[in-house]
Amino acid sequence: MNLLDVIGPVMIGPSSSHTAGAVRLGLLAVSILGESPIKADIALHGSFAQTYRGHGTDMALLAGLMGWMPDDARIPEADIYAKQKGLQYNFATIDLGELTHPNTVRFNLEGVTGKKCMVTGSSIGGGQVCVTQIDDFPVELSGKLPGVLIVHQDRPGVIALVSGKLSEYKVNIAGMKVFRTNKGGTATMIIECDQMVSDEAIKALRAIKNVESVRFINNVL
């Protein structure tokens, strides 16, 4: 957390976790989807589920899905704009278990070209957010830095090849997490970078042996 996380953001009230954080989760979900959503099933867990109406969490999530920032004065009427834009949405509540952060949302999004994506994320206080799952893969993504999500086969050397390729393109790794389903099975890497990752670099990452897919996720903060 830095100075501007604590003294800020400038935002529309009333709740940094339930309003501003929710806008950012919407923004980050769209960034992960990689295109504008036309359909959004939104499931709310914990405190989000209990108090979303009063905090305008629903409006804030829609605002984020439409690409608005947390200080956008239109947030209180986001549902009206969403309908005008033809964004189909639906809100439901969900129980993701006691270990899940109380301010958690799960989006099932469909984009303009038919791309689909499931994103689960939490608003962890003061407007800070953390995406914890993309489709079936556990991740940790704050939206503060550009990120790369790589799905690959769990084989020796893949991580070295990926980090080597990033260094070739002068991209510095700020943080990296690796998960796998089982030994030798499918694994994921989530890498937060200090620099933008060019299309060319993404293409080069895709060409690495045992890499199944590479997704670039732009920062939203």
We find the least distance from the C-beta atom of residue 18 to another protein, in angstroms, to be 8
Q: Does 99 bind another protein (CB under 8 A)?
A: no
- Residue 101 CB neighbours (<10 A): 18
Output phi, psi for 4, to 5 deg: -80, -15
As given in the structure block, the two tokens for residue 168 are 């070739």
Measured from the CB atom, is 26 or 37 closer to another protein? 26
Measured from the CB atom, is 7 or 160 closer to another protein? 7
> Which among 59, 45, 51 has a CA at the least distance from the CA of 104?
45
Number of residues near another protein (by CB under 8 A)? 41
Distance CA 125, CA 206 (A): 35
Scanning 45-53, 82-90, 110-118, 146-154 for contacts with another protein by CB under 8 A, the matching segment is 45-53
Distance CA 151, CA 203 (A): 14
What 3-state DSSP class applies to 138? strand
Output phi, psi for 159, to 5 deg: -60, -45
Peptide bond into 138 cis (omega under 30): no
Measured from the CB atom, is 211 or 220 closer to another protein? 220
Peptide bond into 156 cis (omega under 30): no
Q: Does 182 bind another protein (CB under 8 A)?
A: no
Binding mask 119-158 for another protein (x = CB under 8 A): -----xxxx--x---------x-x----------------
Q: Does 17 bind another protein (CB under 8 A)?
A: yes
Q: Does 9 bind another protein (CB under 8 A)?
A: yes
Q: Does 179 bind another protein (CB under 8 A)?
A: no
Q: Which residues bind another protein (CB under 8 A)?
A: 1-17, 19-20, 46-47, 50-51, 53-56, 71, 73, 75-76, 102-103, 124-127, 130, 140, 142, 175
